[in-house]
Chain A
Amino acid sequence: MMTDFATGTLFLLGSFLCLMAAVGIVRLPDPLTRMHAATKAGTLGCGLLLVAEALFYGELGISLRAATIILLLLFTTPVAAHLIGRASYRSGVELSKRTWIDELGTAIGKANRQGQLPVDDIRQPPGRPERPPDR
């Protein structure tokens, strides 16, 4: 009886968080913030749904499978998000106009002024304005 209410509430919460991830992907201004919304809210929502599933069945095998999926998501989603963010920054996407800290861009600009590149594979993306050091 109480388990049913807990399971139903977890289902509603998890799917609502997944929907919020999708709303964030549509409404946020640039790829980095969209990546942030999709990754965090989506992972938490999916994890809540899996916990609800394990509560619903209440069997060992299904709980183990749900725990496997949760662990898989917790390990793979940050890696994928990091790679997408890196690729989108280096491909020179336009950041949001309200971005006011860009530490990687500042470091690259400083290194370019000193005539050296910090690491071999970090280069100034085309069309990225050089930002002032600190504000």
Chain B
Amino acid sequence: MIDGTHFLSWSVQAAMFLLLAGMALAMWRLAIGPSAADRVIAMDLLSLLVVAFLVTLSVYTGESTYLDVAIAYACIAFLGTIALARFIQRSAEERLTRSGSQDDD
């Protein structure tokens, strides 16, 4: 019969390893991503994984303060993603109006 607390501590450590593996994969996409949109998506997932890791870390260490850090980080990551997405779109539209302005307007 497996002990409950033993299973819990094992699963928390396993969860941290899985999240670290996910972060490594997201970093790989961030490094090789062919377009800028791929890198922004990888950054977005990376920040989500960091939030998940902070949650797991707060259970692992018993410090509930990490949850506040996770709240702040989630807000900041959302703002960063939106800023980067708008930047990509704006620069693409500028490129479009500079190159193909003879057939519209």
**How far apart are A75's CB and chain B's nearest CB, in angstroms?**
9
The majority secondary structure among interface residues of chain A is helix
Judge whether A76 and B11 touch: CB under 8 Å. Answer: no
Give the B interface residue count (CB, 8 A): 59
Residue interface bits B1-45, CB-to-A below 8 A is 1, else 0: 000110110111011101101111110110000011110111011
* Chain B residues within an 8 Å CB radius of A72: 71, 74-75, 78
Give the A interface residue count (CB, 8 A): 62
Known: A22-B23, A49-B52, A87-B88. A65 touches B36 (CB 8 A): no
Residue interface bits A59-93, CB-to-B below 8 A is 1, else 0: 00110011011001100110111011011101111
Known: A8-B7, A80-B78, A86-B89. A21 touches B45 (CB 8 A): yes
A-B contact pairs, 6 of them (CB 8 A): A8-B12, A15-B15, A15-B19, A34-B29, A43-B48, A46-B55
Judge whether A126 and B96 touch: CB under 8 Å. Answer: yes
* Chain A residues within an 8 Å CB radius of B37: 31, 35, 84, 87-88, 91, 93
